[in-house]
Structure 1
């Protein structure tokens, strides 16, 4: 296996060989890869907001600004990862992603994540504790995250409902 030159300058380096670390070249495998990797990374990111939001709720002074910035960055990162995960076509999503979720459970939903409720509760507590102006960047990121989620869902399931919504009908 080739390795990157240890002492090479960036202009002298060589491209690493294609290996299992590169996304697949064919579109079907790439959509599956992006869906899985994007969601794994998103769930990793989603572990942190509740802790940061709880700290923000208890914060005062200058700490409010830095904790708001941190929580905002986490929400923005989650949004970007969701865009990455949902970057396939509606046809490929319907053919390969949605059936796997349905096989796991007919009402499969990210809302089932045990972190989901704790993040929402921590967000409510932070909003109750601080003025809207003080945490405006966080409020913008939360709204943007919701818009991203709805846009991806609307693109991948045009005119349709989530599995959770379908199960309620």
Structure 2
């Protein structure tokens, strides 16, 4: 990435109208560290600045973001492509934040352990929302545009190639609940269960045969993936690996979080009617609650990412 592009892509967003990419529902590259690698000690953004812009964005959202004029040639295909790529980029950031929290949890105690436990549940909740967001297209766009684009890049393109997923795979597969505080165990267990429920529901809605590329990894045994495949996956989702500071990663999250919030206010989560029966997994009250909580959940994750406490977190509807 050139220095000019990097300066824009790592910059904090404004609080006014659309400023993500060159036009509404355009794309931007994402820069993340390699999994397990530390953040840079310093970068072009300070944590105090990310905290201030996070607060201001939240206030702007409450006041109502300005709805952008659709760009020339705007179609539902462009909107859903934006959601597919940018929503996955947000998921990668959430996975990184979740992996960081899980790594810190064993040595934490007292108030830090309680705060990490709450954050872990929030990150899983946020990923549930991103599954709904990236899977919000109709079957025609998914099978006519999105799925073929993965096949064209590699005929066996798979979600198992995601570099940021292995550190959190065990949690999402429900193999072992991390050592969160006792008061958080039930909520975290529900959110993990919800993530799998939504994933199956979205796959049933979009994919012929009802199985998504990432879902296949849930039942298949673990295998070592060639590093090249991870780089192919990153390339598809406009993600590169480099040295960035934690505030710079947060700035990239804030840029996307604002764009998603404007999109949701402008278009709603489902801008076109379902072109088939909604799967039963997506008709449950806990999924409806997650849909209604999506924008607020993104702000809670943004606050946690910049070092602020999450606020007003609703629980998943108990079953």
TM score, norm. by length of structure 1: 0.73
Q: 1:128 to 1:40 in 2, by over 3 A?
A: closer
Which residue of 2 is the match for residue 46 of structure 1? 95
* Aligned residue among 135, 140, 145 for 2:195: 145
Contact kept in structure 1, 2:139 and 2:207, CA below 8 Å: yes
* Residue correspondences, number: 153
| Pick aligned residue for 1:89 from 119, 138, 162 | 138
Superposition misfits of 4+ residues, deviation over 6 angstroms: 122-126
Give the deviation of 1:62 after TM superposition.
Answer: 3.4
Q: Give yes or no for contact 1:102–1:163 (8 Å, CA) kept in 2.
A: no
Decide which of 98, 105, 110 is 2:154's aligned counterpart.
105
1:54-69 aligned at under 5 Å gives the runs 54-69=103-118
Does residue 27 (structure 1) correspond to residue 76 (structure 2)? The answer is yes
Query: What do the CA deviations read for 1:47-66 (whole angstroms, capped 9, x no partner)?
Result: 11111012222223333322
8 A contact 2:118–2:184 mirrored in 1: no
Alignment of 1:76 with 2:121, yes or no, is no
CA-CA distance at 1:17 after TM superposition:
5.5
Q: 1:130 to 1:78 in 2, by over 3 A?
A: closer
Q: Which SS does the other structure have where 2:211 is aligned?
A: coil
CA RMSD of aligned residues (A): 3.3
- Stretches of structure 1 that go unaligned for 5 or more consecutive residues are 5-9
The structure where helix makes up a greater share of residues is 1
Q: Please say if 1:159 is aligned against 2:209.
A: yes
1:100 CA displacement: 0.7
The Cα offsets for residues 90-142 of structure 1, whole Å up to 9 and x where unpaired, read as 12100000001111222222222122111135778973645766522222211
Q: How high is the TM-score relative to the length of structure 2?
A: 0.41
Contact 1:54 1:126 in 2 (8 A): no
1:64–1:15 CA distance, 2 compared to 1 (3 A): closer
Specify every segment of 5 or more residues in structure 2 that has no aligned partner in the other structure, as ranges: 1-15, 17-59, 221-319
**Bigger shift: residues 101-110 or 155-164:** 155-164
User: CA shift at 1:153, angstroms?
Assistant: 1.2
Cα pair distance change 1:127/1:60, threshold 3 Å? farther
